[in-house]
Structure 1
Amino acid sequence: MSTFAANSRYVNTPTKTCTLPDGTQVNYLARRFVPAPESLALLGTYTVVQGDRLDNIAARVLGDPELFWRICDGNRELRPAALTAAIGRQLRITLPAGFPGPSNA
């Protein structure tokens, strides 16, 4: 059972344990590797307009502002604000890793 919400990028990331020299055990989240955008199923594109914010775009196109990370993954960007910095930029809207694309893709 995950301690993360179902819409979190970390929901399927395993937890690991490290034992320190004094015997104390420390739990931590394993590293999440960002998938290659080319491997993600494309749902469509979105053109950035003046005043756009990534959370608002995610709410509009994915139905949840907290899914902004999926747009980051689909565009190989670690800094969310960079995706809306250039007006007219085409953003890839993708499914998360592990999901097949639409049947008409």
Structure 2
Amino acid sequence: MMVDPVSRYAPLETVQMTLPDGRTVAYKRRRFLPQGRTLPVLTTVTVMNGDRLDLIADRTLGNALLFWQVCDANNAMNPIELTAEPERTLRIPIPQV
């Protein structure tokens, strides 16, 4: 199973299940969301009009694919909600890669 090394799923164990028809399916174990307030903060960012989460992640964490760490730090299930309101302050965590 190919997973990008910076993916939120990379550290999860890959397991297999055999289906009733005999096929084997590989999958990643369930990921539990961390409590955002427990993640160490690198900085905070104020959302501006037109900001996108991938651009914020690239600017602050050095990799647009780490947008999910900003989601985790802000207890967000939907990344689009984080930039929907200008002037919102986002917690940017210390990268956990």
- The reply to whether TM is greater than 0.5 is yes
Partner of 1:35: 34
Q: Which residues in structure 2 correspond to 1:1-105 (within 5 Å)? A: 3-96=2-95
- In structure 1, stretches of 5+ residues that fail to align are 100-105
Percent identical among aligned pairs is 46
Runs of 4+ off more than 3 Å: none
* Per-residue Cα deviation, 1:53-104 (whole angstroms, up to 9, x for no partner): 001111111111111101000000011110001111000001356x8xxxxx
Alignment check: 8 A CA contact 2:12 2:28 kept: yes
Q: How high is the TM-score relative to the length of structure 2?
A: 0.89
Q: How high is the TM-score relative to the length of structure 1?
A: 0.83
**1:40 CA drift (Å):** 0.8
Query: Counterparts of 1:39 and 1:63 in 2: how far apart (Å)?
Result: 22
Superposition RMSD on alpha carbons, in Å? 1.7
Alignment check: 8 A CA contact 1:58 1:67 kept: yes
Query: Counterparts of 2:30 and 2:6 in 1: how far apart (Å)?
Result: 18
Query: Counterparts of 1:64 and 1:38 in 2: how far apart (Å)?
Result: 22
- In structure 2, stretches of 5+ residues that fail to align are none
Alignment check: 8 A CA contact 1:40 1:96 kept: no
